[in-house]
Structure 1
Amino acid sequence: MLTTLLRDSRALAALAVPLVLTQLAQVALTTTDTVMMGLLGTRELAAGGLALVIFNQLRTMGVGLVTSVGNQIAAAAARAEQAAADAGAGGVPDAAVEGRREDVRAVVRASMAVATLAGVAGAVLMILIGQVLVTLGQDAAVVELTQTMLLALAPGLLPCLWFQAVRQFTVGMRRPQALLRITLASIAVNAGLNWVLIHGTWGLPQLGLTGIGVATSTVHLLSFVALYGSAKRDSELSPLLTLNAAKADPATVKRLVGLGVPIAATYGSEAGFFSVTALMAGAFGPAALAAHTAVNQLVYIVFQVAVGLSHAASINVSRELALGRTEDARRIRNTALACAAAVMAVVGVAYLSVPGLVLRPFLDSGSDQALTIATQLLVVTAFLQFFDCAQNIGVGLLRGLDDTKSGFRITLIGYWAVGLPAAWLLARPLGLDTLGIWLGLLTGLATTAVLLLRRYSSSLAARSDTRSAVAPA
């Protein structure tokens, strides 16, 4: 059994590790922008931060719309490979093989159509949101800078989502290696463009904060071009990669949107859940909010491991089910959870043994109260991250079953019906303050993880029973 687990773990890691590292590199990308904003001044940091919050919220929702593309590609590619193998054995005609490959191309075209529609709609919405910020009680001087920043960021949403569509194609084909190289390169390019456009060096205009927005949009465009070029140079990917969104099949587009909307809603729900708890922490004072923010950033960084494992497990489930291997799909769940537990155990030991070292990059050493609170929160976080990782893997596993609606419904229950009331009850009536908020977060994430994994098991069992019922005697 251990031998099987190790073999499955290596297979999962081959896809998960590049995705995890890519996710961490993307965190570094946004961190670079934030650091550059801070160098310009407090007002610029406030305006730029507000603009990035709006951009990232719309970007995240758009990414959700195309996230299921990887699963659809994986299933279609697995069927194409099976048809090719059968053709080699004389079982099916060559036309059937080409038909399966055309299924992959159809998903790629539809994904580009969805990404294009989402990118245009998101860019327009981004600008409109900027126009109403003053009515939401924001400082007028800050809003003026934010609006200019949003105008610079809006065009970048379209190539950003094109990049995500091609990314899902490469992941679905289980060839994501170029993603990491391109994302790492984009960090350096982004930092250089930020500096040049902020200060107007090499004869370029001095754009200040707006230069960061222009640089970000440019980097999104360059990243898309680089990933597309890399895929076209890949002999396995090139014949299947087509960007002609105008020829997208309406039925395939409708299917992707039907799968993607619940994913986008799930991402939005999770972001909203953590945003509300941040507001709750702020009610206990600056030290509590600083501690909450520092620990939340740690959780966000480590969460990228969960994202990579979730995507890899999800893609592999889609592939195994397309080939009719239900038992292998069940084993993928166990492998992903075991890998997650191993990583989270190492992180948890660090949180409990050297909390000061872990928190040092995020908290001023002179803030003793914030450091004390954050150290207490790390004890909760050491256990919370097991469930946070498990629930994200659960969402990915269900996505592998093309079941995105159940994931959304369950996260609503876990986050909002259980987690948020528990956080309020523990923080307020029971008087645990910020510690109570994080215990509530733990409760909500644990509930979500249990419900998601139970749903996956029952769905797999139902599929297995159905296959047994229709199998020839």
Structure 2
Amino acid sequence: MPPVLARLLTDGRALATLAVPLALTQLAQVALTTTDTVMMGLISTEALAAGGLAMVVFNQLRTMGVGLVTAVGNQVAAADARAERDGGEQAREEVRDLVRASLLLATLAGLVGAVLMVLIGHGMIWLGQDPDVVDTAKPVLYAMAPGLIPCLWFQAIRQFTVGMRRPQALLRITIASIAVNAGLNWAFIHGTWIVPKLGLPGIGLATTSVYALSFLALYASARRDPALAPLLSLRIWRTRPATLRRLTALGTPIAATYGSEAGFFSVVALMVGSFGTAALAAHTAVNQLVYIVFQIAVGLSHAASLGVSRELALGNKAAAQRLKTTALACAAAVMAVVALVYVTVPRLVLAPFFDTGDSAATDIAVHLLLVAAVLQFFDCTQNIGVGLLRGLDDTKGGFRVTLVGYWLVGLPTAALLGLGTGLDTLGIWLGLLTGLAATAVLLLRRFNQGVGRLEATSAPAPV
């Protein structure tokens, strides 16, 4: 076997050790929200509309809150690497303080987010939404709002365990939460001998309960781990202000990046909706497929990001560059398999989403699926690129690049091709592809420049 290929396989196995559990955890979380959606639909179409509206608000705020604590994993990975290298208590105390600061930041973000959810619930009627749908959505929002706090606590502990390279409990807890969520949904919706019948708001209460139980389960698991327990501190009042400021400075651009990306895809969906119900249905189906496959890239992105933080803390800049190559190669291999399926049996892939007689939506979706086969390569690459820059602590640079790629390249191109050429939905998706491709190229370019600057600053001075 050629040395280069052998090295790639070795690095790939090491990366997969962390990436696979994270990717599976992401896929399990998708199943969690899918369960809620199915339960809403079983109640009524009106419940699905109102519950879906509440979930959009909750997911937007949750996503941005998760972004605030995402950098914790990178900081923990770097501090843990220094603790292993130097064997000092100072680096271990740094990890403890990072955990305290992340939980404090999660608490503050959760409280602010919960208040915003209630305020948005009262203001949605001014955003052109149907008054009856808004009235039905409000109790769901009220029930889900408190769940934002344990949700972000869970994410803070998750980043700690991942940064310490011990994510195994995450997958078990997330899979268990799917079954618990389904059971609580059913109990709270229909009522039992100990639980009143709550209807649609019961789904919101189930969501809050599952997040609280998931946090307690992950915390208990970490407490039983001899490597994690000594570093897991809940004394958030002892957080160093400097650590909290550092995490906030790193996390705010990540939260903004996540919010910007979600907003970009929301605007694209509105543009597609202007072409009618069939176009919007096709877009929704193919976008959901892309979102599911995207979770693999999320796992690779987090694993590569933490690996870069760790290697740079140890001074291994060449290893950081190899991580980039390995993550991109792994993503390309998976996307190639998925693209082959999309191209060869598109109607079979789309069958679960459409009635057999809905030929108009299916025909549009088949064409979009061909675009998605290429788009996924760039979508995964740009997500990995964001993670790589996070490994360099360059979260502001990642945010600026995504603003350019999404809003200055992608959206105008989508509008031009979709609204100005007669390509309609297909044109919008080609614009979406263009925006993601530009973002991917710019992110990788910035990462290479960042590593190059580190190599230049650490090179010996010329004699």
Query: 1:7: which partner in 2?
Result: 10
**Whole-Å separation in 2 of the counterparts to 1:383 and 1:154:** 38
CA distance in 2: counterparts of 1:150 and 1:382, whole angstroms: 36
Q: Which residue of 2 aligns with 1:301?
A: 292
Structure 2 counterpart of 1:93 = none
* Alignment counterpart, residue 54 of structure 1, candidates 48, 52, 57: 57
Backbone CA RMSD of aligned residues = 0.9
Correspondent of 1:66 among 69, 77, 101: 69
Structure 2 SS opposite 1:68:
helix
- The offset of 1:137, in angstroms, is 2.2
Distance 2:125 2:413 in 1: 34
Q: For residue 358 of structure 1, what is the aligned residue in structure 2?
A: 349
Distance 2:142 2:460 in 1: 57
Give 2:441's aligned residue.
450
Tell me whether 1:279 sits opposite 2:270 in the alignment.
yes
- Cα distance in 2, alignment partners of residues 68 and 365 from structure 1: 46
Deviation at 1:204, TM superposition (A): 1.2
Q: Aligned residue for 2:146?
A: 155
Corresponding residue of 2:310:
319
Percent of matched pairs sharing the same residue: 70
CA-to-aligned-CA distance 1:219-253 (integer Å, 9 cap, x gap) = 00000000000001001111111111111111100
Match of 1:121 among 112, 127, 145: 112
Offset at residue 163 of structure 1 (A): 0.1
Aligned to 1:28: 31
Mapped partners of 2:193, 2:27: distance in 1: 31
Map residues 236-315 of structure 1 onto 2, 5 A cutoff: 236-315=227-306
- Separation in 2 of the partners of 1:470 and 1:102? 34
* Paired amino acid for 1:346: V
Secondary structure, aligned partner of 1:361: helix
Helix, strand or coil: the match of 2:352? coil
1:102 aligned partner: 93
The answer to whether structure 1 residue 415 and structure 2 residue 406 are counterparts is: yes
Structure 2 partner of 1:379:
370
**How far is the alpha carbon of 1:469 from its aligned partner?**
3.8
Counterpart of 1:332? 323
2: CA distance between counterparts of 1:270 and 1:381?
17
Shift of 1:428: 1.8
Q: Within 5 A, what are the aligned runs for 1:194-213?
A: 194-213=185-204
Alpha-carbon distance between aligned partners in 1 of 2:126 and 2:277, rounded to the nearest angstrom: 26
Gap regions ≥5 residues in structure 1? 85-96
Amino acid at match of 2:68: L
For 2:40 and 2:267, the matched residues in 1 are separated by 25
1:432 aligned residue: 423
| CA-CA distance at 1:274 after TM superposition | 0.8
Q: Over residues 259-297 of structure 1, what are the superposed CA-to-partner deviations in whole Å (9 max), with x where a residue is unaligned?
A: 001000000111111111111111111111111111000
Secondary structure of the structure 2 residue equivalent to 1:132: helix
One-letter code aligned to 1:44: A
From 128, 134, 140, give the equivalent of 1:143. 134
Structure 2 counterpart of 1:158, one-letter code: I
Classify 1:212/1:470 alpha carbon distance in 2 versus 1 (closer, same or farther; 3 Å).
Answer: farther
Matches within 5 A, 1:40-51: 40-51=43-54
The whole-number CA distance in structure 2 between the counterparts of 1:239 and 1:396 is 28
Q: Aligned to 2:357, what secondary structure does the other structure show?
A: coil
Aligned equivalents of 1:211, 1:289: Cα separation in 2: 29
CA distance in 2, matches of 1:453, 1:352: 28
The equivalent position to 2:207 in structure 1, one of 216, 226, 246, is 216
Aligned residue in 2 for 1:19: 22
Q: Report the alpha carbon displacement of residue 99 of structure 1 after superposing the two structures with TM.
A: 1.1
By how many angstroms is 1:307 displaced? 0.5
Deviation at residue 470 of structure 1 after TM alignment: 6.0
Say which SS state the counterpart of residue 386 (structure 1) adopts: helix
Q: Does 1:111 align with 2:114?
A: no
Indicate yes or no: 2:386 matched with 1:395. yes
For the 8 Å contact 1:320–1:328, the answer to whether it is kept is yes
Distance 1:337 1:453 in 2: 10
Q: Distance in 2 between matches of 1:433 and 1:285?
A: 10
Q: Deviations over 1:78-119 (max 9, x none)?
A: 0001112xxxxxxxxxxxx11111011011111011000000
Which piece of structure 1 moves more, 451-460 or 128-137? Answer: 128-137
CA shift for structure 1 position 431? 1.2
Query: What is the match of residue 89 of structure 1?
Result: none
Distance 1:433 1:35 in 2: 30
Structure-2 separation of matches of 1:411 and 1:365 = 39
Instruction: Measure how far apart 1:201 and its partner are.
Output: 1.3
Give the distance between the partners of 1:137 and 1:346, measured in 2 at CA. 42
1:173 is aligned, of 164, 172, 180, to 164
**Given residue 141 of structure 2, which amino acid in structure 1 is its aligned partner?**
L
Letter in 2 for 1:117: L
- The answer on whether the counterparts of 1:196 and 1:202 sit within 8 Å (CA) in structure 2 is no
Q: Distance in 1 between matches of 2:45 and 2:368?
A: 28
CA offset at residue 168 of structure 1? 0.1
What number of residue pairs does the alignment pair up?
A: 460
Q: Secondary structure at the match of 2:459?
A: helix
Letter of the aligned partner of 1:195 in structure 2? W
SS at 1:133 equivalent: helix
The residue identity in structure 2 corresponding to 1:47 is A
Tell me the equivalent position of 1:464: 455
Asked if residue 77 in structure 1 is aligned to residue 80 in structure 2, the reply is yes
Q: Distance in 2 between matches of 1:269 and 1:315?
A: 23
After TM superposition, the runs of 4+ consecutive aligned structure 1 residues lying more than 4 A away are none
SS in 1 for 2:382: helix
Is residue 132 from structure 1 mapped to residue 135 from structure 2 by the alignment? no
Q: Compute the displacement of 1:202 (Å).
A: 2.7
Q: Would the aligned equivalents of 1:347 and 1:382 in 2 still touch at CA under 8 Å?
A: yes
